[in-house]
A and B are shown apart, each in its own frame.
Chain A
Amino acid sequence: MPLSQDEIAFLANVRRWVERDVAPNVTAWDEAGAFPRALYMKAADVGVLAVGFPESVGGVGGSARLRVALQREICRPGSGGLLAGLFSHGIAAPPIVALGSQEQQSRLLPGILSGDKIAALAVTEPSGGSDVANLRTTAVRDGNIFRVNGQKAFITSGMRADVLTVAVRTGGPGASGVSILIVEGNPKGLTRAPMQKMGWWCSDTAILTFEDVEVPAENLIGELGFGFLGLMQNFNGERLGLAAAAWAFSEECLAEAVDWAQARETFGKTLISRQVVRHQLVEMKMRIEAVRALLYEVAERMDMGEEPVADVCMLKNLATETLEFVAGKCVQILGGSGYIRGGKTERIFRESKVLSIGGGASEILTDLAARQLGW
């Protein structure tokens, strides 16, 4: 399904907004370690936070193709931190949409989609992220509350979040013992500590410690023991988004490298006139085009109602591998300039690795694809 006239007009607005309000600031936000909180509200006004959420909860719907195209626009300034932080609700809110009651949805979602409230998803723990079914944070029912104990690590927007979608163990071992609780505000017993990272500087990342945190029982999302299902709903969408980001960042790096190769002269000739450089640029372009083609094919299949789990896994791995390849090569073509802070390529290079780890590490996705394919 091609994008509609309306969607194309919307994307043009997003592009102008990113050019005007975002791109000129991302480097300063990175250096400052945060983008302003008001940006969530601005983003909501432009309409980007509501894309992908159903109209029934205050969203505007939107196909997978639209989400890919939107991602492309948001990624133009080459800041993964901006993307991760501004769209942390993109992984925190879907479980509420998928499993939450009417009451929970109308209480929690409007504030998130209007940018007034920051949402974060807290699944990973210091003891492990790949093996979600074995998470250790516990929630024990006590009358009208759950008492939560444990620790979460690497939580994007965890420092500032007003709404935390937390995966907890309410039952026995394994996936069937996992439930989802919403922790709102700053309850007693919750402490947040920032983590310093290789990249994504303008997005905060937190270790959250829960010590006897009391969460109202009405904040249980979905039924007891069905949390794993809610988290799984996220996976395809999240991985498609990460693949789209990896594709977009690859394109941004390559564009910078091509510009540089055209302008830079060594030994009396431009870099781009050297066959070795031209061939590298084409090699990169070729791989990026392959990612783009698969990306749109998978998006289209998702729009037709398929859940192509193996393809999404392979797509994310192909896209992130391509980004690592392209970002490394582009830094090399830029030479010393590629190592200096402030340019897109330097930042994207530092931020390429995280996309191969978060949202399902490459090895985990490869194995999942194998199992899905019946091998």
Chain B
Amino acid sequence: MKILVSAKRVSDPNAKLAIAKDGKWIEGDVEYILNPFCENAIECALQIAEANEGTETVAIGIGDDETARFIRQGALARGIDRGILVSAEEASIDSDLIARIYQGVVHREKPDIVLLGKQAIDGDSNQVGQLLAEYLGWPQATFASKVEVSGNKAIVTREVDGGLETLEVSLPCVITADLRLNEPRFASLAGIMKAKKKPFDELEIDDLDLEDTDTKVQIVGLSTPSGRKAGVIVKDVTELVQKLRSEARAI
């Protein structure tokens, strides 16, 4: 079996971001982390590989040298077998092009499962897995909180509003990982050092023979949230209840 898994870097949610002068991207000394949902996807791939001997796992990232570092340290160092970087400028690609890039890589690699994070915590688009499944014509199971692979099918439990849904999808398929899928392991120093020696391919978008490389979404502008209004101090519970009822209309 072969599993393709995503390794996207995202800006650290704890970092203070500044908006670039053109108002369309972020700038400055941005700290990055591996997208937490990708960490769940990677852990899931490793667990499937550990349970199914002979499974090959491949991590893919789209971006520059920094992204390559996250593929190595976030995926290969944890135990993923090899890495692929598709060079692109992150500011100039959208979910659709990312899905098509994945499609191109899938045509080259022919995996049985593509495991992605359900979304990236910077853009929060939540589209790539779904678009990819559509372009490939493969079944999809998104927001997975449990994945079991047996034979040529996967049983996936999804977290949906008000409960759980269990799907059986035939392979090949696309699965996207939710946070409760697992508890990602950490890469050890030995793992980090080994990762440098693992096979690593760098591709250009042009290498993938995509029919369509247009972006369909453009960022028109970014703005910071407006500052929070100052709170009010109430005298007693009666006043609190009254304000909640008449002003906040919360009760």
Q: Do A and B come from one complex?
A: yes
| Interface locus among B55-63, B181-189, B223-231 | B181-189
Interface pair B186/A16, CB less than 8 Å apart: yes
Interface pair B189/A51, CB less than 8 Å apart: yes
Tell me the count of chain B residues lying within 8 A, CB to CB, of chain A: 13
- Is residue A29 contacting chain B, with contact meaning CB distance below 8 A? no
Residues of A within 8 A of B69 (CB): 5
Q: Give B21-79 interface residues, CB cut-off 8 Å to A.
A: 69, 73, 77
Interface pair A45/B185, CB less than 8 Å apart: yes
Chain B nearest CB from A88 CB (Å) reads 20
Q: How far is the CA of A366 from the CA of B186 in the complex (A)?
A: 41
Interface pair A45/B73, CB less than 8 Å apart: no
Interface pair A10/B192, CB less than 8 Å apart: yes
Chain A nearest CB from B24 CB (Å) reads 30
Interface pair A6/B186, CB less than 8 Å apart: no
Q: How far is the CA of A353 from the CA of B188 in the complex (A)?
A: 33
Which of under 10, 10 to 19, 20 to 34, or 35 or more describes the interface residues of A? 10 to 19
Residues of B within 8 A of A7 (CB): 189
Q: Nearest A residue to B195 by beta-carbon distance?
A: A6
> Beyond the given A6-B192, A50-B189, could you list 6 further A-B residue pairs with CB under 8 A, ordered by the A residue number?
A6-B193, A13-B188, A45-B186, A47-B187, A47-B189, A60-B188
The 4 closest A-B pairs by CB, nearest first: A47-B188, A10-B189, A13-B186, A6-B192
Interface pair B188/A62, CB less than 8 Å apart: no
Interface pair B192/A46, CB less than 8 Å apart: no
- Is residue A9 contacting chain B, with contact meaning CB distance below 8 A? yes
- Is residue A296 contacting chain B, with contact meaning CB distance below 8 A? no
Q: How far is the CA of A45 from the CA of B186 in the complex (A)?
A: 7
Q: Give A3-20 interface residues, CB cut-off 8 Å to B.
A: 5-7, 9-10, 13-14, 16-17
Interface pair B189/A45, CB less than 8 Å apart: no
Interface pair B190/A50, CB less than 8 Å apart: yes
Q: How far is the CA of A45 from the CA of B46 in the complex (A)?
A: 14
Residues of B within 8 A of A10 (CB): 187-189, 192
Interface pair B189/A62, CB less than 8 Å apart: yes
